[in-house]
Structures are given as C-alpha cells and as structure tokens.
Amino acid sequence: MIHDQATYARESEDVREPLLSEKGSSTVDVSAESPLPDDLTREEVTLPSPSEPEIARHYTRLSQMNWSIDSGSYPLGSCTMKYNPAFTEDVAADPNAAVHPDRPDESVQGNLELMHRLQEFLAEIGGMDAVTLQPPAGAAGELTGILIAKAYHEHHGNDRSEVVIPASAHGTNFATAATAGYDVVELPSGEDGRVDLEALTAAVGEDTAALMLTNPNTVGLFERDIAEIADIVHDAGGLLYYDGANLNALLGRGRPGDMGFDVMHYNVHKTFATPHGGGGPGAGPVGVTDRLAEFLPSPRVREAETGRGYERFEPAESIGKVHGFQGNWLVLIKAYAYIARLGDDGLADAAAKAVLNANYLAERIELDVPHGPFHHEFAATAGDRDAADVAKRMLDFGVHPPTTKWPEMVPEAMLTEPTEIENKSSLDDLASAFNLAYSDVEEALENAPNRTAASRIDQVGAARNPRLSWQALDEE
C-alpha cells in the first residue's frame, strides 16, 4: 500500500499553507476603544483577521496534512492509539453537562453521579478501593500517586528519600519522582528484560518511598515475579506504584490491586479510547488501596451522607489538589461512555485482541523481537539499520511507524503497539510496510519520506536556531 499525503504548495514562497498571519492581520487601537483609563490598557493588539471561509479552508488544509488514527495504522508503542468511538463525542457534548465547577453539589447531581460511577468502574478494573478523577494526564496521575505515597510516609513519621524506577520505564516516571522531591534510584533491567530480583533487593531499603513499575513493562513482558517484587518492596516499608500506560494488555485478566500494587494511575486516553487530540487532553485518574484513600486529592465524590444523591468531600489527610478544579471533565465523560459500551466482555476482548494483534504482527515482520513472550506491544530491533530511518521510510507506505529508539535496552528499538482495532488485513499491510522499509536500500532510507506533506525535516537546525512564532520568522 502506498499513501500520498495531501499537501499544498506555494513554490514561490517555499511554504505550504501560509500562516494565518501571512493571510492578513489587523491592528486594533485598544486604548482608544477601551472603557478603561489609558494607564490600565495596552496600546494596541495585532492578530490575524481571516474571514470564516478562509478559516474553514485553512484548518481543513492543515487537517489534511495530519496523520491520525482515522487515517490509518498508528502503532506507537506505549501510546495505545485505539479508535476513538464517535458516539462518545456526542455524549460529552451534552450542554447540560457543561456546568461551572463551583456550582453547589445539589444542583449538579447528574455530573456527580457520573463521576461516582466512573470512580467505581475504575476501582473495579484496577482492583483498587478508591479513585480520584482529578489528574489531567498520565504524568499528573503519576505525580498525584507519588505525592500520596509521600504523604502516607510522612503521616507515619517516615522520612523516605528515594523512588526506585526500572531503567526501561517511561521518562515521566523519573521526572515525576524528581518533581515530588525524591532522588531517583535507577534499576538496571535483568537479562530477560524484566526486573532483576537481586538488583531490586539491593536497591530498596529504609529510604525507599516507592517502586514505580509498568506491567506489562515497556517491551510488553509481564513481570511474572510481581508477587515477590511486591513483597520485597513492602518488606522494606515502601509502596508499589503501578504505571497504567500498559493496562490495555491486562483488562479482564489481571488487576494491579491483586498483584500487590498500592497506588496506580489510569491513562483513559489510552486504555479507554478517549481521543489523544494531537497531544492531549487526556486524563490520569488515580486509584489506591484502602490504606491510602484518606490521602487522595480533594474533592472526591461519594454517596451523600444524607442518603440522597452524591456529594463532594475532602479526604481527611488529603494531599490537596493537582488541578485547579476537577480535571479534564469532557475526557472523563468519554471514558465512562467507552467502558459502559464494552462492559466486562468487551473489555476482556479488547485486551485479547490487542495481544493477538501484537503477536500476529511480530510473526509477520522480518525484524527480530529479542524479548518475549510479550503482550500488547513488542520491541523489534532494526539491527544494523537506523530505526529512525526505517520509521521515516514506513511513512511512505501508508502507515505511521512505531516509537523508535526506545526503550534503550533493545538496540535500534521499534516499539510497536497495533492495539485491538486492526484486523488481519490491516496488520498484513502494516507488516509489509515494516518489511519493505527494513529491507530497502540505505539511500532510500536516508532520503525518506517522499510521499508525505513534508520531506525529511531538519531537526538540528530547528533546535540550533529556535524560531517559535511568526514574530520570530518576521524578524529574519
């Protein structure tokens, strides 16, 4: 399969679609029009002033120069790029749900009940006892979880300074631990790609606040020793944090709470199919076991103590807040709708087909996959080819390539997660793209891509000479 991405060109100006500012701006004399005294206003403001038809064409053209799940395969490892069910958009667009966060509880019972239901769904799915919906993204969920761990230790008079993280973990884990004020202890991966129990035992101790673990891990392997891992961490007085990025592999077959995890986040934009929106918004609810419930952010939602309806409340030892209000509400509605659509059978089937697809695709590609048995994703190696070049060449064959050069334990890694939405024939196409690119001549790889809106982009130049606005371009 080949794919020519739409493009627009103004060759005389060496640009594709011109910037809004290049289509015409206007300047408003603010101080002249303002009801405020001059010393409280700016003098003028200059912004683009396109007509609505121009806007419609501008953004439609831009959209045509943008790959998406609805364009084709998007097997970015660790990102879980599932189809985003259209109907969830309509559910979330209900104007009755669009209320202000400061409305009193009794006047927003519908919203509170949906939040309560979603808290219960997520608790059940994760094997957790209590859930907050507030964190607005996965990394925000991580921070929430680690702040809860910190508050828990401090509450018990323990001053612990370290968070242990496997080398193969997502970068956010390390950055989160640092943001919460912890020193990071990096755990080298074992020979088989999993946690090495001896190394773990050596790494944990009285300074350990938590171990952050992704399971299946970032090359798709289930940490089979999870019960022992939990014992080692708990015996040292630490807590076990579950990074929910790979939860899609486990739906209906394993729950973090049953594995000994104390606190976890859910990436609803991954596991529960809410749109990724070009980078966000997502949502990163956090679940905890009973002993941590009192530390959750405020507010949480519970059945009202009066017995009628639902109410918000502040947990007794709450860490406070991680978002100014209650998080990414519109995203949470979509997650609720997705879970209610699938139910037990659908959720388990999603995991089964995600794992089936990853295994089938790995079987069909010519690249080696060093670690297994993997689940919903696998890290193939491009061997003596440059994984980034292979990825660029794949763009010419009508697919988005996998995550490249990560995790580092696999040389020239191509971390691939097809998700459950692909069928056999689209996986065969995806495999062809892999194989054609992987076996192509060096020159073709270096010159790729050719069928995309832009050819290979100069990243080094962009960083060396940062131009981050049309004002910066105008100065040249």
According to CB under 8 A, which residues from 193 to 252 bind another protein? 221-222, 224, 226-227, 250, 252
Other CB atoms within 10 Å distance of the CB of residue 221:
23
Residue 306 contacts another protein per CB under 8 A: no
Choosing from 2, 191, 306, 324, the residue that interacts with another protein (CB under 8 A) is: 324
Choosing from 12, 52, 157, 316, the residue that interacts with another protein (CB under 8 A) is: 52
Choosing from 236, 387, 410, 421, the residue that interacts with another protein (CB under 8 A) is: 421
Residue 457 contacts another protein per CB under 8 A: yes
Q: How far is the CB of 236 from another protein (least distance, A)?
A: 20
- 299 touches 104 (CB < 8 A): no
Token code pair at residue 112: 């509170």
Find tokens 């990025």 and name the residue.
245
Instruction: DSSP letter for 62, please.
Output: H
Residue 191 contacts another protein per CB under 8 A: no
d(CA 375, CA 305): 43
Choosing from 212, 326, 415, 430, the residue that interacts with another protein (CB under 8 A) is: 326
Choosing from 350, 365, 387, 413, the residue that interacts with another protein (CB under 8 A) is: 350
Token code pair at residue 154: 């401090």
- Select the span of 199-207, 235-243, 300-308, 353-361 touching another protein (CB under 8 A): 353-361
Angle between helix 329-364 and helix 424-438 axes, rounded to 10 deg: 60
For 299-323, give the DSSP string: -EEEE-TTSSSEEEE--TT----SS
- 365 touches 147 (CB < 8 A): no
Q: How far is the CB of 367 from another protein (least distance, A)?
A: 16
Q: What stretches of 174-247 adopt beta strand conformation (E)?
A: 183-187, 208-214, 239-243
CA-nearest of 217, 162, 158 to 186 is 162
Residue 279 contacts another protein per CB under 8 A: yes
Q: How far is the CB of 100 from another protein (least distance, A)?
A: 4
Q: How far is the CB of 205 from another protein (least distance, A)?
A: 19
- Select the span of 205-213, 232-240, 275-283, 437-445 touching another protein (CB under 8 A): 275-283
Q: Classify residue 48 by burial, with Cβ atoms within 10 Å: 0-12, 13-18, 19+.
A: middle
Choosing from 2, 33, 198, 316, the residue that interacts with another protein (CB under 8 A) is: 33
- Select the span of 71-79, 203-211, 234-242, 378-386 touching another protein (CB under 8 A): 71-79
Residue 356 contacts another protein per CB under 8 A: yes
Q: How far is the CB of 198 from another protein (least distance, A)?
A: 20
